[in-house]
C-alpha cells in the first residue's frame, strides 16, 4: 500500500477516529488543523504531529486533505483553502462533492457510514466508506485508503449518499433515541435498560437476516388496540412527544401491515 502524507482538517469525533486509524495503518498525518487551537493541539499531540488553528499555515505539500468538520462549516472551510495540488475530500454524508470544487482539481468524498463518539474506541473493520471523486484515479486512491484501515469502499454519488445519510439517521440516531425513551421509562419503575439487550440483539439479527418487512412483531402489527391503548395511557406522565411518537409509529406499523391506522384513537 502507498503511504500517504495526510493533513487532517477538523479535530472532532470523526477527525479523531479517522486520523488515528490512518496513522495506525502506516500513513503519515503531517498536520492537524482545528478551529480551536486547544482541540487541534490535543489531537496533534495524540498523533505526535504538527497542529495549527490557522489555515494560513496549512501544509501545502500533502497528498490528501481530509475535511472532517460540522456539515454547515464545510463551505466556509472550502472557501478559505488555497488551491491545492493534493486530493481534497470531506467526510460528510449530506454535503455534495461540488462544495469542494475550487479547492483542487482532484477532490472527492470519503464518508464512513458509522457513528463516532469521543471516549469510545471503535474498529473501522467492515465499515462502508462511501467514495465519490472527480476522476477514476482519485476513486482508486480513496478506495485503497479505505481498505488500508479495514473499511469497505463503496462508490456512490452525492445524490445516493444523501439518501444513505437519511437512512443512517433513521436506523442509528432515531433508534438510539427510542432506547433513551425506553431507558427513562424503565428508570421510573426501577427497571434497568440492560435487560433489553438480548431482545434488541435478536431484533437486529432478524432484521438483517430476514429483512425488516418480514420481522415486524408486537401489538401494532397484531392490531391489538387494547394493549396499544394501555401503553398510550402509561405514557401520559412523560414528555407529551413520547405519547405522540408511540401513536405515530404504531399507526405507521398498522398501515404497513395492511390495517386502517384510524382504528387507533390518538
Select from 20-28, 43-51, 58-66, 163-171 the region that touches a second copy (CB under 8 A): 163-171
Question: Does 181 help bind a second copy (rule: CB under 8 A)?
Answer: yes
Helix (H, G, I), strand (E, B) or coil at 211: coil
Of 2, 24, 201, 237, the residue at the interface with a second copy (CB under 8 A) is 201
Burial of 188 from C-beta contacts in 10 A (0-12 / 13-18 / 19+):
exposed
Compare residues 58 and 253 and give the one whose CB is closer to a second copy: 253
Confirm or reject binding of residue 206 to a second copy (CB under 8 A).
yes
Mask for 126-145, x = binds a second copy (CB under 8 A): xxx-----------------
| Closer residue to a second copy, CB minimum distance, 48 or 72 | 72
Question: Nearest-5° angle of CA 165, CA 214, CA 258?
Answer: 95
Residue 147 as a binder of a second copy (CB under 8 A): the answer is no
**Could you tell me the smallest distance in angstroms from the CB atom of residue 74 to a second copy?**
11
The only residue of 56, 226, 262, 265 in contact with a second copy, by rule CB under 8 A? 226
Specify the pairing of strand 28-33 against strand 5-9: parallel
d(CA 72, CA 94): 10
Q: Per the structure block, which three cell numbers stand in for 143?
A: 478506495
Identify any residues that bridge with 152 across adjacent strands, giving them in sequence order: 128
Amino acid at each position: 500500500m502507498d503511504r500517504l502524507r495526510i493533513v487532517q482538517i477538523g479535530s472532532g469525533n470523526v477527525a479523531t477516529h479517522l486520523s488515528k486509524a490512518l496513522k495506525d495503518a502506516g500513513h503519515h498525518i503531517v498536520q492537524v488543523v482545528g478551529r480551536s487551537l486547544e482541540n487541534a493541539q490535543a489531537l496533534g499531540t495524540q498523533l505526535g504531529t504538527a497542529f495549527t488553528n490557522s489555515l494560513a499555515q496549512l501544509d501545502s505539500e500533502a497528498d490528501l486533505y481530509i475535511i472532517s468538520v460540522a456539515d454547515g462549516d464545510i463551505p466556509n472551510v472550502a472557501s478559505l483553502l488555497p488551491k491545492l495540488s493534493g486530493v481534497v475530500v470531506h467526510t460528510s454524508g449530506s454535503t455534495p462533492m461540488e462544495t469542494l470544487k475550487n479547492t483542487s482539481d482532484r477532490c472527492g468524498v470519503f464518508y464512513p457510514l458509522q457513528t463516532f463518539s469521543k471516549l469510545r474506541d471503535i474498529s473501522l473493520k467492515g465499515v462502508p466508506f462511501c467514495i465519490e471523486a472527480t476522476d477514476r484515479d482519485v476513486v482508486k486512491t480513496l478506495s485503497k485508503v479505505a481498505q488500508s484501515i479495514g473499511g469497505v469502499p463503496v462508490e456512490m454519488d452525492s445524490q445516493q449518499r444523501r439518501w444513505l445519510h437519511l437512512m443512517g439517521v433513521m436506523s442509528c440516531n432515531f433508534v438510539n433515541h427510542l432506547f433513551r425513551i425506553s431507558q427513562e421509562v424503565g428508570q421510573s419503575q426501577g427497571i434497568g435498560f440492560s435487560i433489553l439487550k438480548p431482545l434488541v440483539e435478536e431484533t437486529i439479527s432478524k432484521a438483517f437476516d430476514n429483512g425488516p418487512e418480514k420481522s415486524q412483531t408486537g401489538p401494532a402489527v397484531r392490531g391489538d388496540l387494547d394493549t396499544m391503548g394501555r401503553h398510550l395511557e402509561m405514557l401520559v406522565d412523560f414528555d407529551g412527544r413520547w405519547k405522540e411518537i408511540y401513536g405515530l409509529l404504531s399507526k405507521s406499523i398498522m398501515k404497513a401491515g395492511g390495517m386502517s391506522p384510524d382504528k387507533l384513537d390518538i
